[in-house]
A = this chain, B = another copy of it.
Amino acid sequence: MPVGQAPRTGRRPVPAVRHQLSEMVASHVREAIMIGELRAPDYIRTEHLAAELGISATPVREALMILHSEGAVRWEPRRGFRVLPITAQDVADLFAVQAHIAGELAARAARALDDAEIERLQRIQTRLEAAARDRDAEQVDRLNHEIHRTINRSSASHRMTSLLSLTVHYVPLGFFGTIEGWAEASAHDHSAVFDALRAHDADAARDAMAEHIRHIGRLLIDHLKSHDVLSEPTSGNRPAHQT
């Protein structure tokens, strides 16, 4: 047992227990994969990770189940969970799908949003652009989320929204703040989306949003490339699911 400080009742090593451990661990692992700390064919051992985090194996296992169904790790029953490789193609595909979904939702929002809500969004966008100029990445991240969340909720398309969040979760919260050029891109691309929303032009909104997402995807690929996180495209077969 390397660390193994078993937390007794009443005292916890984790600071604030607002979210559940499973979610926290899932985020932790997503981030570890994203920064290349956990790499392609590694097994993630539940007990080890649990000891590292000062918790028990149960929530770790739950987190890995989630990550498995998200496609970030593969579950080999009675063997363990292992990290799946990330190729540039994978990221591009993920964002292509995300662009498709987000585009459709933006199109619906263009029909559904009334002018007052668009006005409110516009004010958030103005703040976002200011934050982008100030290089306040965290603030940009927050405002960006607020904008996308509002657009998606207005579409009232629950199922599609949940598919979207699934692809969005792939990139850990706050990660974009660390990417060169992201804040500027976000500030810039949104203006085209807003033009379309104001005109209630569904097709234009779809195109603008989709292009925005693909743009972000390209930035992410560049970032991952330069940080040597991506795997080579594998010619062989390493299916993520047995389907």
A interface list, Cβ under 8 A from B = 19-20, 22-23, 58, 61-62, 65-66, 68-71, 77-78, 84-87, 89-91, 93-94, 96-97, 100-101, 104, 145, 148-149, 152-153, 156-163, 165-168, 233-235, 237-241, 243
Given contacts A65-B65, A101-B97, A166-B71, contact A89 B235 (CB under 8 A): no
Supply 9 A–B pairs (Cβ within 8 Å), ascending by A.
A20-B78, A58-B58, A61-B62, A62-B62, A86-B159, A89-B157, A94-B159, A97-B160, A162-B240
Contact B77 A19 (CB under 8 A): yes
Given contacts A58-B58, A66-B66, contact A159 B20 (CB under 8 A): no
Contacts of A156 in B (CB 8 A): 233-235, 237
A159 to B104, CA, bound (A): 21
Contact A163 B243 (CB under 8 A): no
A185 to B187, CA, bound (A): 47
A168 to B68, CA, bound (A): 15
A96 to B105, CA, bound (A): 12
Contact B22 A65 (CB under 8 A): yes
Q: Identify A163's interface contact among B23, B145, B167, CB under 8 A.
A: B167
Most chain B CB inside 10 Å of its own CB: which residue of A19, A158, A239, A243: A158
Measured between C-beta atoms, what is the minimum distance from A35 to chain B in Å?
19
A158 to B149, CA, bound (A): 28
Contacts of A153 in B (CB 8 A): 237, 239
A161 to B234, CA, bound (A): 14
Contacts of A165 in B (CB 8 A): 240-241, 243
